């Protein structure tokens, strides 16, 4: 008699499934309260669940290998430990009235057991007994939701969990509006910034307004794409919001970042990355997305002068801190350093030059922002300005720009600024628009060619193939993710199908089963197993089909953009609608105003309609108008009749 097939009790989650699971966690928080009020609680709970499940898994595996549970629990055997009595399953079982206190005590115990790495990461600004910030019903629902899924490495790999954590950050940003959205930079923009600043192994990279840490992680990803060691980057970050600061620390830990220095505090008022002489530490690369047009940036704190000497081009205005960030970046770059900053477009044109009575009918001093911008241009450290589409950033629909600073421009780029108008091509989405790989190529080609049309045409094919290779690599990664998740549970399908076919091909008397009832029961059991497995197989096939279709669309967009770029770069007039290189003389003529429509032809020509089509359309409109008038006349007649 053939033995029964035993199915695996679980399968590993795919990236998409884990993303969806965490999206449901965010949905639990729906209501009138801003998500930013309790995002710190959610991320702390999720981190607690992850490290608890991983620790239990590690202890179990080590005990099997070593045969000694006490040795398996030795802290030296683990990257982090969860003390006895505060594991997730123990805390989650506490009563409704006890769970808040139990969570607070667990977080404290975990931090103490993992000092100094975890200091304050789970407790700063968080009190699970504060029902006003996180209502008890929502807390219980979150605990139950997280308890329903194992987060050990057998179910969720480190890469998948790290990616899902970033997905949850993005989800919160989309749901929470401005208060939570301002700490998240879309990964497509972060990818673009890393590609342009090109960090190298051994570089110090800083983000003075680090938010969730995504820009720094993308710099690591850039090295990985280049086949270099991401652990050779030395990351530095500072963040003023305590909850966001802890979220970013967790983000770094979950992504396995080994070398990073993270500080909490206001980077303008109290920069905390300082050298031994108490001066600003200098960095090779800086990437940053600071708050746009911050009014309370610290103007009054620097009336007696700035101890760090940042405002060499001028004191930013009292009610707008955009240039305070830009001057801090310029000051904290090494002599050959490069930076890229997300800014509101106002920095390109706000402020007026000095006016005399003869010129303007009155005497007027130059505005602060005008003088600072003039200083940046004359110092020749602005290398490129890129205008982005609107609605890319959560909580802010204002069109943004990217400013590339270079303290040591290549000789052929000196006293020149590349202007790229990149606001035409994007994917419309809700609540935010998206940049596709093909849209990024439309920026990277003119950037790397620095406006040289012949070089740009050569680069199109190179970038086209590079992006296709990256898309194919991502497709295979996602397909492997799906296969690894489904393969263990689908492994018995062949055996089940073979055994079922064998039994159905013979009479029950020849099957080896003692009775017809036993034979029928076995056939029924195998049919059920085969049906369940084929349903799971269909699930897998559908997931793979979705991945392939998405990849096919993206590659089609890349080919389309490449064809369009070749057309654009073959005609200087057409290229001038997308990018141009302006020299210092041009910029002086424009009074140091860097608003791109002064340099790039941003005008959108009206679509020409053939005369015959226009006449036909007008005739159709005339008929519609006549019909409407006739209908209205009849209604009025009926009303008169009623009277």
pLDDT of residue 625: 79
Model confidence over 11-46: pLDDT tens digits? 688 888 888 888 888 788 766 445 566 778 888 899
pLDDT > 90 in the chain, percent: 60
pLDDT band for 10, please (50, 70, 90 cuts).
low
pLDDT band for 179, please (50, 70, 90 cuts).
very low
pLDDT band for 9, please (50, 70, 90 cuts).
very low
pLDDT of residue 146: 93
pLDDT > 70 in the chain, percent: 92
**Listed residue (558, 459, 450, 437) closest to 191, CA to CA:** 437
**Statement: residue 605 has pLDDT above 70:** no
pLDDT band for 278, please (50, 70, 90 cuts).
very high
More confident position, 174 or 485: 485
Please give the radius of gyration of the chain, using alpha carbons only, rounded to the nearest integer.
31
Mean pLDDT lowest for which of 85-89, 151-155, 327-331, 352-356? 352-356
- Going by their DSSP bridges, the two strands 382-387 and 333-344 should be labelled as unpaired
Mean per-residue pLDDT for 447-472? 95
Q: How far apart are CA 64 and CA 61, in angstroms?
A: 5
The DSSP secondary structure of 6-71, one letter per residue, reads PPPS--PPPHHHHHHHHHHHHHHT-SSS-GGGTHHHHHHHHHHHHHHHHHHHHHHHHHHHHS-HHH
**Listed residue (169, 197, 162, 165) closest to 184, CA to CA:** 169
Average pLDDT taken over every residue of the chain:
88
* Residue 565: exposure state from Cβ atoms within 10 A (0-12, 13-18, ≥19): buried
**Statement: residue 5 has pLDDT above 60:** no
Type and span of the H or E element at 401: strand 400-406
Q: How far apart are CA 473 and CA 555, in angstroms?
A: 12
Describe the strand order of the beta sheet including 382-387 as a list of residue ranges.
260-264, 234-239, 204-207, 283-288, 333-344, 400-406, 382-387, 416-421, 579-583
- Do 460 and 569 meet the contact criterion of CB atoms below 8 Å apart? yes
pLDDT of residue 1: 39
- Do 204 and 284 meet the contact criterion of CB atoms below 8 Å apart? yes
Model confidence over 337-364: pLDDT tens digits? 999 999 999 999 998 888 766 666 567 7
* Residue 213: exposure state from Cβ atoms within 10 A (0-12, 13-18, ≥19): buried
Three-state DSSP class for residue 458: helix
Q: Classify 615 in phi/psi space as left (phi over 0), alpha (psi -120 to 50) or beta.
A: alpha
pLDDT of residue 355: 77
For residue 479, the number of C-alpha atoms closer than 13 Å in the C-beta half-sphere is: 15
Q: Classify 342 in phi/psi space as left (phi over 0), alpha (psi -120 to 50) or beta.
A: beta
Task: Tell me 212's DSSP state.
Answer: T
The pTM of the full predicted model, rounded to 2 decimals, is: 0.85
Q: How far apart are CA 535 and CA 529, in angstroms?
A: 10
Q: What is the three-state SS of 343-390?
A: EEHHHHCCCCCCECHHHHCCCECCCHHHHHHHHHHHCCCEEEEEECCC
Instruction: Kindly state the tokens that stand for 576.
Output: 């001038």
For the chain, the structural domain boundaries read: 464-576
**Statement: residue 145 has pLDDT above 80:** yes
Which residue shows structure tokens 């057309």?
A: 567
**Statement: residue 144 has pLDDT above 50:** yes
Model confidence over 55-113: pLDDT tens digits? 999 999 999 999 999 999 998 899 889 999 999 999 999 998 999 999 999 999 999 99
Strands (E), 496-587: 579-583
Bridge partners of 417, per DSSP, are 582
Bridge partners of 287, per DSSP, are 340
pLDDT band for 133, please (50, 70, 90 cuts).
confident
More confident position, 621 or 202: 202
Q: How far apart are CA 62 and CA 68, in angstroms?
A: 8
């Amino acid at each position: 008699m053939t033995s029964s097939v035993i199915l695996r009790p679980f399968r590993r989650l795919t990236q998409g499934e884990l993303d969806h699971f965490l999206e449901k966690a965010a949905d639990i928080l729906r209501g009138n309260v801003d998500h930013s009020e309790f995002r710190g609680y959610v991320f702390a709970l999720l981190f607690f669940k992850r490290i608890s499940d991983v620790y239990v898994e590690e202890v179990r595996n080590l005990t099997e290998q070593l045969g000694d549970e006490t040795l398996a629990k030795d802290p030296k055997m683990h990257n982090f430990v969860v003390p006895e009595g505060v594991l997730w399953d123990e805390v989650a079982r506490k009563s409704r009235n006890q769970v808040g206190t139990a969570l607070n005590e667990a977080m404290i115990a975990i931090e103490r057991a993992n000092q100094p790495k975890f200091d304050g990461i789970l407790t700063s600004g968080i009190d699970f007994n504060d029902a006003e910030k996180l209502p008890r019903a929502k807390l219980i629902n979150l605990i139950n939701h997280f308890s329903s899924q194992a987060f050990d490495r057998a179910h969720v790999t480190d890469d998948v969990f790290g990616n899902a954590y970033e997905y949850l950050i993005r989800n919160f940003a989309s749901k929470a509006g401005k208060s939570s959205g301002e700490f998240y930079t879309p990964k497509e923009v972060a990818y673009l910034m890393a590609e342009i600043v090109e960090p190298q192994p051994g570089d110090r990279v800083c983000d003075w307004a680090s938010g969730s840490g995504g820009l720094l992680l993308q710099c690591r990803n850039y090295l990985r794409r280049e086949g270099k060691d991401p652990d050779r980057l030395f990351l530095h970050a500072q963040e003023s919001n305590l909850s966001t600061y802890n979220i970013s620390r967790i983000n770094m830990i979950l992504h396995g970042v080994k070398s990073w220095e993270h500080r909490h505090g206001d980077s303008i008022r109290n920069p905390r990355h300082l050298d031994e002489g108490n001066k600003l530490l200098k960095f090779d690369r800086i990437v940053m997305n600071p708050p746009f047009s911050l009014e309370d940036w610290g103007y009054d704190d620097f009336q007696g002068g700035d101890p760090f000497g940042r405002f060499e081009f001028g004191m930013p205005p009292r009610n707008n801190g955009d240039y305070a960030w830009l001057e801090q970046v310029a000051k904290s770059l090494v002599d050959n350093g490069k930076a890229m900053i997300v800014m509101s477009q106002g920095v390109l044109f706000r402020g007026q030059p000095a006016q005399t009575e003869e010129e303007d009918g009155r005497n007027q001093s130059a505005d602060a922002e005008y003088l600072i911008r003039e200083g940046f241009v004359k110092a020749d450290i602005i290398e490129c300005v890129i205008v982005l589409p609107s609605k890319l950033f959560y909580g802010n629909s204002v069109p943004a720009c990217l400013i590339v600073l270079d303290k040591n421009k290549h000789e052929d780029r000196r006293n020149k600024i590349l202007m790229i108008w990149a606001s035409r091509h994007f994917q419309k989405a809700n609540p935010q628009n998206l940049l596709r790989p093909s849209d990024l190529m439309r920026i990277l080609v003119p950037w790397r060619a620095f406006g040289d049309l012949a070089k740009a045409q050569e680069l199109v094919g190179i970038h086209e193939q590079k992006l296709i290779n990256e898309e194919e690599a991502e497709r295979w990664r996602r397909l492997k993710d799906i296969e690894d998740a489904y393969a263990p549970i689908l492994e018995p399908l062949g055996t089940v199908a073979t055994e079922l076919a064998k039994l159905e091909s013979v009479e029950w008397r020849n099957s080896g089963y003692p009775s017809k009832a036993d034979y029928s029961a076995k056939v029924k059991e195998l049919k059920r197993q085969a049906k369940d497995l084929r349903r799971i197989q269909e699930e897998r096939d559908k997931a793979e089909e979705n991945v392939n279709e998405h990849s096919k669309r993206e590659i089609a967009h890349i080919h389309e953009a490449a064809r369009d770029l070749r057309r654009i770069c073959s005609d200087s007039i057409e290229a001038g609608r997308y990018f141009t290189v302006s020299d210092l003389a041009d910029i002086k003529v424009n009074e140091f105003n860097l608003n791109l429509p002064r340099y790039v032809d941003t005008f959108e020509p009206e679509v020409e309609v053939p005369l015959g089509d226009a006449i036909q359309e007008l005739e159709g409109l005339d008929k519609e108008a006549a019909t409407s008038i006739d209908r209205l006349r009849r209604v009025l007649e009926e009303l008169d009749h009623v009277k």
